[in-house]
Structure 1
Amino acid sequence: MNTENHGDVGKLVGANLRQFRVNKGISIDALAKQIGVSKLTLIKIERGEANPTLSVIWKIANGLKIPITALLSIESDVSIVRKKDGLKLISANDVFVVEPLFRSHGLIELYRGYLQPRGEYLSEAHQPGVMEFVTVMSGQLTVEVDGNTYHLDEYDSIRFKGDRPHKYANPSSSVTILHFVISYHNP
């Protein structure tokens, strides 16, 4: 995860990761093996010394079976997320930026996303039962799920099962702006 204030964010993610891991009774070794992230990386994240990628944060959240925003925020009764002040998570290839809008309360998360011109982002499968709802607010988007490609224009929306690998691509020469809702299955 690359962020504008990555020091503070790294410490917040680390503290939240440790709290969830300990509360669930999972050792750092067990979590590392379960999610395919090295023990050293997890130790550095918990200490606030690492700057994890969006992919690593998703692996951690999936492994702990928590919404990603649970790792990224602090509780508040009223929250306003302004574009200029929002937390920005950047993909490893720097073409996809997502902004968690609020901490998850219950079973949904909200995000704003920006996909650079001609950019592609491959998302790993999320937790079983996860559904994604994506609306193109500006630009164009193609979404690949289960070998099928879907083309969306401005204000088009798509819903799909996010518990399988999927890809977002911007076929245009301008930034695509997206709004995401991620819904977690309640077992």
Structure 2
Amino acid sequence: MEVSDQVLIERTVQRQDRHAYSQLVRRYQSRLRQALRALCNGDDALADDMAQEAFIKAYKALAGFKGQAQFFTWLYQIARNQLMSHYRKKLPEPDSEKVESLGRETAVEDACELTRRDLHRAMAELSSAQREALHLTYQLGHSNEEAARLMQVPVGTVKSHVLRGKAKLKTLLQNRQGNLTHATR
């Protein structure tokens, strides 16, 4: 029988039981890393570093966890805030001209099939909020309400990001498919 998150948290806080916390880490590490990879535009090393840092910060702050949200929701918010802080400090905004030139440099692969790389490139052209909302709702299967809690925005904002992101993806992918069709003629 699996021990609940709440019991593991209590053991960690009250008894300084590191084994209990390691069970939480094992339970959520792949899910957190997957969520962060989408936010890191495929930079697996950065996602892994941010996940590790988030678990360390969560461990240090665990006594302050009030249980008003699920543990993963709280952990995700720590990781997301940390990643946003990292981007503010370290990375410049993406240059739209470079994004476009990368798209133009792509070799023609298959006119009938959109590849994962096409989707990844199209996702990179969305705003970070649209990308995150789509990732949370479609790839991770969260409801709009859960995504709103994770993103710390109103539900209507999440819905708007999802709708606009889907519309932009559709246009980008249709344009990509049209370019492949013209290139193969």
Provide TM-score, normalisation by structure 1: 0.32
Q: Which structure: larger Rg?
A: 2
Q: Which has the higher helix share?
A: 2
